[in-house]
Amino acid sequence: MTIKTTVEYVGFRNTLHRREYLLRAHSGPETRDFTVGIALAAFAAGRVRLQDGPEICYLKLQREIAAALEGPAAEGDYTVSDQELAGYREAHTPARRPSPSAAATAATRPPPPASPGHS
C-alpha cells in the first residue's frame, strides 16, 4: 500500500543569502519539516519572481521526496539551483505569437517604395 504524501506551505524567511520557504510534508501519521531556499541574487537579477518562489520550492520538494522513495531518505534542507530556475521559467513562459492584427497588417502592407537610383 502506498501512502500519499501531501506538502503544506508554512511560510518563508529571508536569510543573508537566500529566501527560505518552510514546507511540511505529511505522509500518513508522519510529519517532516523541510526548508527549500532560493538565492536572493536570483530574485534581484530577475531570474525568478517572488510570487513564483513557493511553487518552485514545492515542485523541488516533490521531486526530492519522489527520489527518496527509491533511495536514501529526503534531507531537510534544499537549495534550488540556477538550472532548476531556468527550467521552471522555460516551462512557465508562454510562447510568443504575433497578434492576429499584426499578422494581418503585415500581409496587406504594400512593399516600401524603391529609393531613387537603386534598381
Tell me: the pLDDT tens digits for 22-73? 999 998 898 999 999 999 999 999 999 999 999 999 999 999 988 887 766 6
Position of cell 518552485? 56
Whether the Cβ atoms of residue 61 and residue 45 lie closer than 8 Å to each other: no
Q: Which pLDDT value is given to residue 116?
A: 64
* pTM for the full predicted model: 0.74
Grid coordinates of 92: 512557465
Q: How confident is the model at residue 93 (pLDDT cuts 50, 70, 90)?
A: confident
Q: Which pLDDT value is given to residue 98?
A: 67
Q: Check whether 111 has a pLDDT greater than 90.
A: no
